[in-house]
Amino acid sequence: MIETDVTVIGGGPAGLASALKAAEKSNVLLLERGNELGGILPQCIHEGFGNFIFNKMLTGPEYAQYYINEIINSKIILKTNTTVLSIDPNKNIVATNSTDGIIRIKSKSIILAMGCRERTRSQILLPGTRPAGIYTAGTAQHLINIDGYMPGKNIIILGSGNVGLIMARRFSLEGANVIGVYEIMPNAGGLTRNIVQCLDDYNIPLFLSHTITNIVGEKRVEGVNVAKVDEYFKPILETERHIPCDCLILSIGLIPEIELCKNINIKIDNITKGIIVDNKMESSFPGIFACGNIVHVYDLVDDVTYSAEIAGKNAGNYIDFERGEIEEIKVIPGRNVSYVVPQIIKNKDCNTIKLYLRVIKEERNVNIILKDGNTPIFQKKERIVKPPEMLRINLSKQLIESISNNELNIDIRCVNE
Q: Which residues of 194-229 are buried (b: 16+ CB within 10 A; e: fewer)?
A: bbebbbeeeebebebbbbbbbbbbeeebbbbbbbbb
CB of 68 to other proteins, least distance (A): 6
Nearer to other proteins, 71 or 87 (CB): 71
CB of 195 to other proteins, least distance (A): 7
The site for other proteins (CB under 8 A) is made up of 35-38, 42, 45-47, 57, 59-62, 64-65, 68-69, 72, 78, 80, 145-148, 173-174, 192-193, 195-197, 200-201, 383-386, 389
Nearer to other proteins, 81 or 284 (CB): 81
Nearer to other proteins, 84 or 385 (CB): 385
Nearer to other proteins, 85 or 173 (CB): 173
Pick the closest to residue 297 from 138, 158, 185 (CA basis): 138
Pairwise CA distance, residues 368 & 335, whole Å: 10
CB of 50 to other proteins, least distance (A): 12
Pairwise CA distance, residues 174 & 16, whole Å: 31
Nearer to other proteins, 147 or 325 (CB): 147
* Three-state secondary structure call for residue 39: coil
Nearer to other proteins, 204 or 400 (CB): 204
How large is the C-alpha radius of gyration of the chain? Answer: 22
CB of 330 to other proteins, least distance (A): 28
91: left (phi over 0), alpha (psi -120 to 50) or beta: left
CB of 13 to other proteins, least distance (A): 14
Torsion angles phi and psi, residue 158, rounded to 5:
-105, 120
CB of 341 to other proteins, least distance (A): 19
Count helices and strands in the chain by DSSP H and E runs: 7, 27
